[in-house]
Structure formats: structure tokens, C-alpha cells
Structure 1
Amino acid sequence: MRETITTRCRDKGLHMTPRRRIIAEILEASQDHPDVEQLHQRAQARDAAISIASVYSTVKLFEEAGILDKLEFGDGRARYEDADRAHHDHLIDMNSGEVIEFVDPEIEALQEKIATRLGYRLRGHKLELYGVPIKKD
């Protein structure tokens, strides 16, 4: 079983205040890629005293500790996801901003093949696709 964000914070020696713990729990429960404003709204629903500055400082701390990944999809909003998630790629709906996670074995194999052909052993990659929904008549 994968460790929680809260557990990894503790293991890295981060001081977990009650507010940081709430933010960590919200991130753990997130099925989307929330930005700071979304995290702040969710955190305030649990504790109205949590400021946006607290959310900003917490995600920065978690990012610097390697617990969160910061994602930037060109819309001016930094979004966050657990750095310990299974590998996946992203498709970004340019109309709605929705981020769709996917894994495609053919794409994974093609990337390995390209790296090998160019004389490299692939150690990682990040794939972001940007598109608009196909209109159905």
C-alpha cells in the first residue's frame, strides 16, 4: 500500500501543523489536479481560518520536499498532484481546462523505441496533449 502524503511528510521530518494536515488530507483525497485557489476553498470548508497564504506556503513546502508535483498546463494556473502516483500522461481540454489522466502502452513502447534508436535509455518522461472535444453531429 502506498504511503499517504501525511505519512511521507512525517517521514521527511516536516512539522505537520493542523492546517498542513488538513491540506495534506485534501490533496490525498483529490481525484483532480487542484490549483491553490481550489485547495483553499476545500480547506476553508474544513477550517475557515486557513488563509490562502497558508495554502501557498504548504504546497511550496510539499513540492520542495518532493511530495507534490507542480503541473503547469499553460493556463496560468499551477496545479498539484501527489508525486508518488503511478505513472500517467495528461490530456488537457483546452475549452474547459479539464485534465484527463491516461496510460497507453503503445505510447510507452514508442517512447522507449525512440530513445533506444537515438542511443538512450529512457529514465522518465512527461507527456501532455492539448485538445478540444470533437463535435458530434
Structure 2
Amino acid sequence: MNEIDRRTEKLTSALRDAGVRITRQRAALLSVLAEAEDHPEAIELQRRAEGVVPGISLSTVYRTLTELESQGVILRHQFAGTPARFEHTETTHHDHMIDVDTGEVVEFANDRIERLQAEIAEAMGYEIVHHRLELYVRRKSSTRTAE
């Protein structure tokens, strides 16, 4: 079984465990979500699933995503000023940079940042149990004018 099939099965099992019926439309959505290497919005997930099996409503997409999130198999990211975006939990830890001009989301991992966060927490008498780092960025440009 390849990685995408394994992810799809994990998402499917989570819905079944929650008592949700797996329709053709939901199966298409789960497949699209398992394949996603980006951070698609619900509308984009609907568009992709529609390309596989027509007839999936946006309300079905939202209900399915909400249930998958409650089952802990997807993550909802609510970056400032943008609609919620989703990703499966089958990823290694990473942080995000959000381009404020284009909305592009760039994943990155940096050992120095991870160590520094742990050092800061330790110095203040804490240990990190969970964290999320979001950097809102803009590309540098020599032709960019001051705003």
C-alpha cells in the first residue's frame, strides 16, 4: 500500500469510526485530501473532488472536514486574513510562512528555531507541549516602492 492509499484509509476509518457514511463524493474528497501536499481551502478541496466525482456540495465538504478535524486526522490552519486551510496530519513538524501579497503558504523546518524556542521556554521554567509558528512575509524587491 502506498503512502496516499494509507492516508486515504486512515481518513476513511476516522469517518467510519464517527458513524459517517462513506459516499462516492466523500470518498473522492478523502482521496483528494490524502493527495494534497499544499494547504487547500474547503472550496479548493470541493473543486478537486468535483473533478473526480461530480456532485459534492460545499456543505458536505465542511461537515466532513469538521468531523475529520475532531477525529484528529487533519489540521485546520486559520492564517490571518485568509479562509481556513487544511492538511492531513501525516506530516513531520513544520512551521509556515504566509506571503501577505499572494496568500502562498510555504512550509519550513529549522532546527535552530526549534532549539531556541525550547531554550526560551526552559529559561522561563516551562517545557513546550505544542507550538505553531506562523511568519507573515513579503518578498523583497529592489523595485518595490515604499507604501
With normalisation by structure 1, the TM-score equals 0.91
Once the two structures are superposed, residues 97-135 of structure 1 have per-residue CA deviations (whole angstroms, 9 ceiling, x without a partner) of 000000001000000100100111211210000010000
Please list every run of 5 or more consecutive structure 2 residues that lacks an aligned counterpart in the other structure. Answer: none
Native 8 Å contact 2:25 2:54 kept in 1: no
1:31 matched to 2:37? The reply is yes
Select 1:132's aligned residue among 113, 128, 138. Answer: 138
Query: Counterpart of 1:4 in structure 2: which amino acid?
Result: R
Q: Which residue of 2 aligns with 1:51?
A: 57
Match of 1:111 in 2: 117
1:92 corresponds to which residue? 98
Q: Is the 8 A contact 1:69 1:81 kept in 2?
A: yes
Aligned to 1:6: 9
8 Å contact kept, 1:5–1:82: no
DSSP 3-state at the match of 2:32: helix
Aligned partners of 1:60 and 1:42: how far apart in 2?
18
Runs of 4+ residues deviating >4 angstroms: none
CA distance in 1, matches of 2:68, 2:53: 20
RMSD (Å), alpha carbons: 1.8
SS at match of 1:61: helix
Give the unaligned 5+ runs of structure 1.
none
Match of 1:21 in 2: 27
* Separation in 1, partners of 2:10, 2:23: 13
- 2:31 and 2:134 mapped to 1: Cα distance? 27
Structure 1 window deviating more from structure 2 (15-24 vs 89-98): it is 15-24
Q: Which residue of 1 aligns with 2:128?
A: 122
**SS of the residue 1:112 aligns to:** helix
% identical equivalent positions: 32
Q: Distance in 2 between matches of 1:83 and 1:76?
A: 21
Is the 2:11–2:30 contact (alpha carbons within 8 Å) kept by the matching residues of 1? no
Using structure 2 for the length normalisation, give the TM-score: 0.85
Give the letter for the 1:51 counterpart: S
Task: Give the AA of the match of 1:25.
Answer: S
The letter of the residue matching 2:113 is I
**Could you tell me whether the CA contact under 8 Å between 1:6 and 1:21 is conserved in 2?**
no
